[in-house]
Amino acid sequence: MSKRLLALALALVLALSLVACSGGGNKTVGEATTDPLTKDDVVSIYLLSHATWPYKEDWKVWQYIQENIGCTLDITGVPGADAPTKWALMFAAPETLPDILTYDHKPSTDTHALSGAIISLDSQAEYMPNYNAWVDSLSEEDYAAYINPCKSFDGQVYYTPVAGREKQESVRAWIYRQDIFEKHNLEVPETFDELYEVSKQLKELYPDSYPFCIRSGLSTIGIMGPSWKPYWTTGVYYDFNTDKWCFGSLEDTALEVMTFFKKMVEEGLTPSNFISINTSEWEELVSTDRGFIMAEYMTRIDNYNTVVRQSNPEFTMTAMTPPVANPETGVAQVAKLNRDPVGMVICNTRDAGRIANTAKALDWFYTDEAVELVSWGKEGETFEVVDGKKQFIKNGSMETPKVLYGFGSTGAFTRIDPESIAVSDSKEINDVREKVLGYSETYMTPTTYLAFNQDEQRVLDEYEVAIGNYRTEMFTKFILGQEPLSKFDEFKETLLEMGVQKLLDVHESAYSRLK
């Protein structure tokens, strides 16, 4: 059966299930039609409201969306910290569900797909011609990048694909204090041996510093993993070079990593608490000449340069080539993580009319008209053209277009013009953007988006947390010298006894559905 026929068959099954369950709940069931949306049609949206750019009712972007989408939007902004609890309570009482919920973690929605609490976009094909046309226009490579990560356990898409933010969102890079290196005539390291040596030099110059200043522990080690071996990380990962699921802590690469960090911590070249250090403490180290090299978000370049230059005009953070740890197996790359994690889902309100209207509303976001409006707004109101190039109208404000107008805020886009993002970044980031992107691995780890069926999820529930906690605990103890590295083989044996192979098996099973 072709994918299209399968989608239609599943759509029919879902439609019948909606009819079967329509008597439940307190909603009045409406008729699903392909009629255009009108102002009398109301689509309710609950948005994640970011602490840095909290949702504002008067944002221009939502004005433009509502004017063009055709229906009335009933929008509620919920602080991101409160959203998980709020969303869980609404799913526990389906009669309280809005039409659309926004998320910033796709795997969180897969359980709702399993339970039938959200509706797939595939099942609403009749009401989403623009979305379907966009999907059909994608190359095989773009389909793999945009659509596969949004698929759930049944191969259908429940999470709106986002395109256009991959040149900024979650881009990782090796960055360093260029001004400090130039001041002391230091060479930018190209290997981990050179990283160690230059860190020692910096420690002599700045005794209170931790030259290789990283945070987030095993997550950051995973970002640097390709320096030892492509696609490697400490836990479950997919090796695209061998087409095999692996567990990094079972490999000799893990011992190399532990040995390196143990030496760096012992000599005060890396914070001893880098696995658990909080962000504010780490930021203070970097901004006060006590941290000089790190693997971080590319946007940290602007974050630091903009703020610290107010007191230290010479402060210059920029990108560098990732150093190689193992010259035989490593590469000058970082883990590829530049996919926007934000998406929207259609809630199963058990009202066929509401669901169809919601699908029609989401469909508008995939039009070319929508790309222009949600990226730039209207000429003369939110942007102007200067020397043939668009730029945002800010009227002297230091705020970003996201804060001023809502562009790029949660739920306000699916497709977006990358240039609208680039103009908000500094020349320093735009100068290194393509260089940094060139250092990203070719493929993104599937562990960030894999969806598991019920049987697979039961295996994860039984084994994943315990294995993950043990791995983190032992990595920490090895690096801090609380356990001797001579116990590495014992560590591996324990991981195997705890059921690592079962984790690998369910990842292979889930991944096979995307092939």
Mean of the per-residue pLDDT values of the chain: 92
Strands of 42-49's sheet in order across: 72-79, 42-49, 100-103, 343-347, 118-119
pLDDT mean over 184-207: 98
pLDDT tens digits along 342-394: 899 999 999 999 999 999 999 999 999 999 999 999 999 999 999 999 999 99
Q: Is 315 helix (H, G, I), strand (E, B) or coil?
A: coil
Of the candidates 289, 333, 282, 336, the one whose C-alpha atom is nearest the C-alpha of residue 314 is: 289
In a domain, 228, yes or no: no
Strand segments (E) across 166-322: 172-177, 236-239, 244-247, 293-297, 317-320
pLDDT mean over 421-439: 91
**Residue 335 CB neighbour total at 10 angstroms:** 25
pLDDT tens digits along 147-182: 999 999 999 999 999 999 898 889 999 999 999 999
In a domain, 316, yes or no: no
How much is the pLDDT for 341? 86
In a domain, 487, yes or no: no
pLDDT tens digits along 216-273: 999 999 999 999 999 999 999 999 999 999 999 999 999 999 999 999 999 999 999 9
Question: Would you place residue 18 in the very low, low, confident or very high pLDDT band (cuts 50, 70, 90)?
Answer: very low
pLDDT at 21 over 80: no
pLDDT tens digits along 294-315: 999 999 999 899 899 999 999 9
pLDDT at 17 over 50: no
pLDDT at 19 over 70: no
Residues counted in the chain:
515
Q: Which of 103-107, 198-202, 286-290 has the lowest mean pLDDT?
A: 103-107
In a domain, 121, yes or no: yes
pLDDT at 24 over 80: no
Structure tokens at 18: 């909606």
pLDDT tens digits along 102-156: 998 898 899 999 999 999 999 999 999 999 999 999 999 999 999 999 999 999 9
Three-state SS annotation for 204-229 = HHCCCCCCECCCCHHHHHHHHHHHCC
What is the β-pairing status of strands 317-320 and 236-239? unpaired
How much is the pLDDT for 168? 85
In a domain, 146, yes or no: yes
Cα dihedral 396, 398, 50, 166 sign: positive
Number of domains in the chain: 1
Determine the structural domain holding residue 140 and report its residue range. Answer: 3-165+339-416
How much is the pLDDT for 107? 87
Query: Which DSSP string corresponds to 133-175?
Result: HHHHH--HHHHHHHTGGGB-TTS-B-S---BS-TTTTT-EEEE
Three-state SS annotation for 104-134 = CCCHHHHHHHHHCCEECCHHHHHHCHHHHHH
Interatomic CA distance for residues 273 and 282, integer angstroms: 10
Which CATH number characterizes residue 361's domain?
A: 3.40.190.10
Structure tokens at 237: 């990962």
In a domain, 504, yes or no: no
pLDDT tens digits along 47-78: 999 988 899 999 999 999 999 999 999 999 99
How much is the pLDDT for 340? 84
How much is the pLDDT for 169? 86
In a domain, 79, yes or no: yes
Q: Is 507 helix (H, G, I), strand (E, B) or coil?
A: helix
In a domain, 69, yes or no: yes
pLDDT at 25 over 90: no
pLDDT mean over 422-443: 92
